[in-house]
Structure 1
């Protein structure tokens, strides 16, 4: 398959944003150097409140961008391909590295005392059930696997669906992304109650909406480059301001907060995050280059391995920039993210020279 240049840039951008999110999390509730924010969040100063809101809020498009890239390339699956052939091809690429890093996150931290033996044994015993204690970022793999499982199911419909039919699906998806706000301000809606979470739009909600959006953009969206630039920028700016402000207005410094409450607008399937993501993706689609530098192509190919391993490096740079150098938050967060990106790239590149490296880094 011929490489789609703008998607390489999207992958690199999204990969860096993931690291920026996790760098930011060390400023609103992380206890240890590589811990992500837990059920409760705490911002020490007004400076932390502002820059966590800005950096982390802007970066919330990272996960949906990865979803859109996968859907853009894979949907609908090839007509001559069976469901089992599709599963074999996709899962042989992502699952071996995923399980290897599950093992590494369950054992390697023993060497520097970040976890004890009991935690390691517990993590290893639960590998088939969930991600390890120190690998919270691997949550992303489960919805990605879910989308891969569903692509053969939805592909026949996507092949013959009209633009109008897809817009109807997308409209229901967009409406579903407003439900988190409705729940906050209006309580349970559309069939929700303490014994039923499956509201009327349940089957149009979640990351499946991004999958259909990606297909619609690739197949049905015939906008000119200028129109994509203008509408993409408008959606990006509105989504960005909404996403940043939704956290800032709630995250009062010096108070203990419920993380799900103050991160309401940071959920990946909220209307503002959809606007932010689609706006950014539309801007990337205006890249018309037919080729790019070797570094961009290579980094795009290495991005999966970089994502898997980056938490190992993040703690080191948190120690350097937050604890030792004590840089101001405005500088420390991007420094942590940039250095994590660079060291993850170097490590992944070195691993790529090993025989059979695809089983480790994809």
Structure 2
């Protein structure tokens, strides 16, 4: 299979898709108080894959901001390609929630059903769909900000990123005391990750060795801070606290940059692995949309990270979820007009 210039970006998207599934499979371990060993397994694995969502946003910026679109073309080619699958795959989650209400003998008249459906579309029919709402907001801004980015120097982009980094540091309560009334809301949020992804794609390092060294230097300290910080908050509060899991914290940012830089400009030679990664990359958005629905049914069947020892249960459940997700999206994609809803 012929290598493309940005094959590394496709492979990275595939890896982050798998990492998101691992994250959601592992999450129940951190709310279970039955075994401290299980909790530690959950904490370590969860911390290892927190890079996933930030890297998704970084890839969005890296691949979108370099291109020039008219607003109409962008909305047609990009925005609605995200919206239509999102609307379609929101429906099963809404139907599932309505089914639960019926099973719990909640009486709903037609108006209540209608308002419930509208509310679900408005606020999200599943916990993982917050990502799509955030992505859509960034997409709406893309035709505007991409022009600024393409016409900016590296120093000007770095200027934005430094101020964005300050807003990230304020996420920690111990540092938030230094926050002033200066309004930095124009710099905060996940938009920073998209600009960072674009910036890091353009940066040329002296050598691959130097790039990889920087990646490792950032990833492992970030990982240790995430693991240790979550543990200390757990001991302090006696329950799960997700401060150090937040995607907009410096420790997760370090991990995300580390993974992004390490994979950047690396190309997979093994054809079997390459085909596998290309398959996941091709259907990554659809897999993201449908995988929680698969996890729901796997849970109903008793297949979770708990069905056997977590060190086996997590990879086994992840593989099953990924397999069924790919299969469903692949089949939908083959249906008439299926490419418009498969994601």
Shorter chain as normaliser: what TM range? Answer: 0.7 to 0.9
Residues 185-212 of structure 1: CA deviation (Å, up to 9, x unaligned): 25554336xxxxxx53322221111111
**Using a 3 Å threshold, how does the CA distance of structure 1 residues 178 and 338 change in structure 2: closer, same or farther?**
same
* TM-score normalised by L of structure 1: 0.83
Secondary structure of residue in 2 paired with 1:250: helix
| Alpha-carbon distance in structure 1 between the residues aligned to 2:323 and 2:170 | 38
| Alpha-carbon distance in structure 2 between the residues aligned to 1:356 and 1:3 | 30
Deviation of 1:62 after TM superposition, in Å, equals 0.8
Deviation of 1:66 after TM superposition, in Å, equals 0.7
**Using a 3 Å threshold, how does the CA distance of structure 1 residues 107 and 155 change in structure 2: closer, same or farther?**
same
- Which residue of 275, 278, 285 maps to 1:294? 275
Secondary structure of residue in 2 paired with 1:343: helix
Alignment of 1:260-339 (within 5 A): 262-288=241-267, 293-318=274-299, 319-322=301-304, 326-339=307-320
| Alpha-carbon distance in structure 2 between the residues aligned to 1:9 and 1:45 | 36
| Alpha-carbon distance in structure 1 between the residues aligned to 2:247 and 2:10 | 22
- Which residue of 10, 13, 16 maps to 2:18? 16
**Using a 3 Å threshold, how does the CA distance of structure 1 residues 168 and 223 change in structure 2: closer, same or farther?**
farther
* TM-score normalised by L of structure 2: 0.87
**Using a 3 Å threshold, how does the CA distance of structure 1 residues 334 and 43 change in structure 2: closer, same or farther?**
farther
**Using a 3 Å threshold, how does the CA distance of structure 1 residues 288 and 77 change in structure 2: closer, same or farther?**
same
Deviation of 1:333 after TM superposition, in Å, equals 2.4
- Which residue of 220, 227, 233 maps to 2:210? 227
Any stretches of 5+ residues in structure 2 without a counterpart?
none
Tell whether 2:47 aligns with 1:57: yes
Secondary structure of residue in 2 paired with 1:129: helix
**Using a 3 Å threshold, how does the CA distance of structure 1 residues 123 and 240 change in structure 2: closer, same or farther?**
farther
| Alpha-carbon distance in structure 2 between the residues aligned to 1:281 and 1:226 | 15
Secondary structure of residue in 1 paired with 2:216: helix
Any stretches of 5+ residues in structure 1 without a counterpart?
30-41, 193-198
Alignment of 1:124-139 (within 5 A): 124-132=117-125, 135-139=126-130
- Which residue of 56, 74, 89 maps to 2:64? 74
Alignment of 1:1-362 (within 5 A): 4-29=6-31, 43-78=33-68, 81-108=69-96, 118=108, 123-132=116-125, 135-181=126-172, 184-185=173-174, 188-191=177-180, 200-252=183-235, 257=239, 262-288=241-267, 293-318=274-299, 319-322=301-304, 326-362=307-343
| Alpha-carbon distance in structure 2 between the residues aligned to 1:338 and 1:122 | 37
Normalized per residue, which structure has more helix?
Answer: 2
**Using a 3 Å threshold, how does the CA distance of structure 1 residues 125 and 208 change in structure 2: closer, same or farther?**
closer
Deviation of 1:289 after TM superposition, in Å, equals 5.0
**Using a 3 Å threshold, how does the CA distance of structure 1 residues 128 and 107 change in structure 2: closer, same or farther?**
closer
Deviation of 1:114 after TM superposition, in Å, equals 7.1
